[in-house]
A and B are shown apart, each in its own frame.
Chain A
Amino acid sequence: MEAALRTRDSAYRRRSDSSASLSSTSSRRTLSGLWASRKNSTCSPEEGPSSSPPVTPQHTPLLQRLFRSSSSEESADQGDVSTPRFSRLNSSPSFSPPCSSPSFLSFSRRKLRHIVEEMVTTEREYVRSLHYIIHHYFPEMDRADLPQDLRGKRSIVFGNLEKLLDFHSQFFLKELEACWRHPLRVPHCFLRHEQFSLYALYSKNKPKSDALLASHGHAFFRVRTLEDKMDLSSYLLKPIQRMSKYALLLTDLMKEVGVAQEAELGALQAATSMVKFQLRHGNDLLAMDAIRDCDVSLATIVLHLKAPFTDQTRPPEARFSYSFELSSSAYKHDVNSSWMFCWSEAETFREEPGSEPAPPVLCR
C-alpha cells in the first residue's frame, strides 16, 4: 500500500517538475483517471476551482486507486524515496487535518503538504501564544498594584498585539486551515489581507516595550512566568519571529512549485514579496528610530550605500529607499558596525568599509 502511494506521490512531483516527458504524461493520465472518477475533469487538485467539492478518499474505491497507480510505476524508481509522513501526521496530537487518511495524502505532493502542514500547526501554536498573552498578561495591567510607570502603558508594553490576535484568530488561521487540501492557495491567504502591515508597527514599538519592561515591568510580570515557564519577553518576541518564518515557508513553497505552474508561482512570489516588504518596512522603521535616538548627529553617522539606489520592487508609498542595509548599532563607529542608509529625499553619505571613520562623503 505504501509503495503504491509513494509511486503516485512521486508521479505527482514529477509532473510538476518535468513538462513533457513520457513518464510524466503517463502520470498525468493516471491522475486524470483518478480525478475523472470523482468529477470527470482533468484538473489537478491544486488547479481546481475553489468551488469544487473536496475530494476525499471515500469517493475512489481503494482497489481502483491501487490498480490505477500501477500504471505510473515506471516513474517510481526515479521518484522520491523518503518515508511517507503518515506516522508523523497521525502522531501529532495538536493536529487534526480534516482528512488524514493515508490515501488522501497521496493526492498531493508530499513536500508541499509538509510545508503547509508546518505552516498550519505553527500558526495554531502562534495563535495560542497570542491568546495566552492577551488573556494572562493584559489583565495584569488593571491590577491595583501596577507600578506607576506602567500605568496607561498597555499599548507600549504590548504594541498592537491585540489586533494581531484578532487578525490571526478570526481570519488568517482559518484560511490557512482551509488550504490544508490546497497548498497552492496559501499565497492568496497572504495577499487577501492588509493586516500584515501590523507587523512593521509591532516591530517599531518593540524596543520601547523592551525598554519599559526592562526598567519597570519584569519584577511585576515575573510572577506569571511560573505558570508557563516562559516569561513575557519570550512571548513578545513571537510576532517578530513569526513574520520571518512566513518568509522562509513561502520561499520553500516556491521551490516546490515548478515553473510550469506559472500562475501559482506568480502568486507565491507576490506573497513572498509582500511578507519581505513588511519585514523590510519594520526593519527600516527600527533603523530610523535608532537614528533618531542616537546622540550623534545624523551627519556624523556613517552611511554606507551598498545596493543600487533605485529599488523597483519598492512601492511608491514607501517613504524611503529600501536599498540599504543597516548592519549594526549607531553608537559605535567601528568598521563592523557602520551604518548603511539612504534616504530617497535626502542626501546619502557613503563610506567604504575598512577605511577610517572619515567625514561622510556626499555621493549624490
Chain B
Amino acid sequence: MPEQSNDYRVVVFGAGGVGKSSLVLRFVKGTFRDTYIPTVEDTYTQVISCDKSVCTLQITDTTGSHQFPAMQRLSISKGHAFILVYSITSRQSIEELKPIYQQILAIKGSVESIPIMLVGNKSDETAQREVESKEGEAQATAWKCAFMETSAKTNFNVKELFQELLALEKKRDMSLSIDGKRWGKQKRTDKLKGKCSVM
C-alpha cells in the first residue's frame, strides 16, 4: 500500500498511441498538438497542484510491460490512483488494459477504495470508432471503476477526468485547483453531478 504523503501519484496506463501524453499535456498545459508525438510515453512525470497537495502524474506505457510483471508491480504499488486509457479507435488498446487492471486488483487487494478511471480517448474520431461507449461503460461496471470518454484533441472531458478521479479519493480531501482556470466543458455535468466541485 502506498503511504500517505504530500505526493499523490496518479499512474496513467495505456498502450502506445492511445493519447496518454496528449491527455496529460492537455490537462496540464491546456494545449494539444497533432504533431506532438512522443516516441515513448512513460516516465513522464508532471507535477500539478491539487488542493493542499502535490499530484504527480506518471505515465506508463504498457507496451511490452506484461513481460515484466514483477517490475510493473513496483510502479503499481506506489500509485495512489490510476487512469486506464484506451483509444475508442482501437479494440486492441482496451484489451491491453485487462492484465493491468488485474494486476492493480491483485496488488491493491481491492479496488473499492482506489480511484480508478477507465478512459476512452479520441472520442472525436467517431468515424474510426471500434469500441462503443456502452462497451466501455460495461467494462467499467465490471471493474467497479469510473468511466469517461475524452478527447484530448477537442479538450472534451479532460479536466473532468482528473477532477472526477480525485473526487473518487475518499481517504483524503483531494480536488484540483488549477490557477485561474475554469472548467471549460460543462456538457457532461449530468454525469459528473454531485462529484465535481466547480471552481
Partner-B contacts on A (CB < 8 A): 82-83, 85, 88, 114-115, 118, 122, 203, 206-207, 210, 213-214, 218, 222, 225-226, 229-231, 233-234, 237-238, 240-245, 247-249, 251-252, 276, 279-280, 282-284, 286-287, 290, 325-329, 332, 336-337
* Bound-complex Cα distance A226 to B7 (A): 10
Check A327 against B5 for contact (C-beta < 8 Å). no
Check A241 against B7 for contact (C-beta < 8 Å). no
Check A203 against B69 for contact (C-beta < 8 Å). no
Q: Which residue of A lies closest to B99 (CB)?
A: A327
Check A283 against B68 for contact (C-beta < 8 Å). yes
Check B7 against A234 for contact (C-beta < 8 Å). yes
Q: Which residue of B lies closest to A115 (CB)?
A: B39
Which residues of A lie under 8 Å from residue B45 when comparing CB positions?
A: 230, 234
Q: Does B61 contact A (CB under 8 A)?
A: yes
B116 nearest CB across to chain A (Å): 16
Q: Could you show 5 A-B contacts with beta carbons less than 8 Å apart?
A: A225-B5, A231-B5, A233-B7, A241-B42, A248-B16
Q: Does B127 contact A (CB under 8 A)?
A: no
Q: Does B198 contact A (CB under 8 A)?
A: no
A348 nearest CB across to chain B (Å): 18
Partner of B70, one of A122, A251, A283: A283
Beyond A248-B39, A249-B40: 13 further Cβ-contacts under 8 Å? A218-B3, A233-B3, A234-B58, A237-B74, A241-B42, A241-B43, A248-B64, A252-B40, A276-B67, A286-B70, A286-B71, A325-B69, A336-B105
Check B39 against A280 for contact (C-beta < 8 Å). no
Q: Does B90 contact A (CB under 8 A)?
A: no
* Bound-complex Cα distance A106 to B157 (A): 39
B8 nearest CB across to chain A (Å): 10
Check B39 against A114 for contact (C-beta < 8 Å). yes
Q: Does B138 contact A (CB under 8 A)?
A: no
Contact with A along B74-109 (1 / 0, CB 8 A): 110110000000000000000000010011011100
Check B64 against A251 for contact (C-beta < 8 Å). yes
Check B78 against A233 for contact (C-beta < 8 Å). yes
Known: A231-B7, A276-B67. A328 touches B106 (CB 8 A): yes
Interface residues of B in 142-174 (CB under 8 A from A): none
Check B67 against A222 for contact (C-beta < 8 Å). no
Q: Which residue of B lies closest to A335 (CB)?
A: B102
Partner-A contacts on B (CB < 8 A): 1-3, 5-7, 9, 16, 35-36, 38-40, 42-43, 45, 47, 54, 56, 58, 60-61, 63-71, 73-75, 77-78, 99, 102-103, 105-107
Check A118 against B39 for contact (C-beta < 8 Å). yes
Which residues of B lie under 8 Å from residue A240 when comparing CB positions?
A: 71, 74-75
Most buried by A among B16, B65, B70, B106: B70
B172 nearest CB across to chain A (Å): 15
Check A337 against B6 for contact (C-beta < 8 Å). no
* Bound-complex Cα distance A142 to B39 (A): 41
Most buried by A among B42, B60, B65: B42
Check A329 against B42 for contact (C-beta < 8 Å). no
Known: A122-B43, A214-B3. A241 touches B70 (CB 8 A): no
Give 9 closest A-B pairs by Cβ, nearest first.
A286-B70, A328-B106, A231-B7, A248-B40, A241-B43, A283-B68, A283-B70, A229-B54, A337-B106
* Bound-complex Cα distance A174 to B69 (A): 32
Check A283 against B7 for contact (C-beta < 8 Å). no
Which residues of A lie under 8 Å from residue B35 when comparing CB positions?
A: 82-83, 85
Which residues of A lie under 8 Å from residue B47 when comparing CB positions?
A: 229-230
Partner of A327, one of B7, B36, B63, B103: B103
Check B39 against A249 for contact (C-beta < 8 Å). yes
A335 nearest CB across to chain B (Å): 10
Most buried by B among A88, A243, A325: A325
A188 nearest CB across to chain B (Å): 19
Check A118 against B38 for contact (C-beta < 8 Å). yes
Partner of B7, one of A225, A243, A251, A276: A225
Known: A214-B3, A252-B39, A287-B70. A241 touches B63 (CB 8 A): no
Check A225 against B6 for contact (C-beta < 8 Å). yes
* Bound-complex Cα distance A266 to B169 (A): 48
Check A325 against B66 for contact (C-beta < 8 Å). yes
* Bound-complex Cα distance A237 to B43 (A): 9
Check B68 against A244 for contact (C-beta < 8 Å). yes
Check A280 against B67 for contact (C-beta < 8 Å). yes
* Bound-complex Cα distance A24 to B152 (A): 38
Which residues of A lie under 8 Å from residue B64 when comparing CB positions?
A: 247-248, 251
A176 nearest CB across to chain B (Å): 15
Q: Which residue of A lies closest to B59 (CB)?
A: A241
* Bound-complex Cα distance A237 to B71 (A): 10
Partner of A279, one of B38, B43, B61, B71: B71
Check A279 against B68 for contact (C-beta < 8 Å). yes
A138 nearest CB across to chain B (Å): 19
B177 nearest CB across to chain A (Å): 14
* Bound-complex Cα distance A245 to B56 (A): 18
Which residues of B lie under 8 Å from residue A336 when comparing CB positions?
A: 102, 105-106
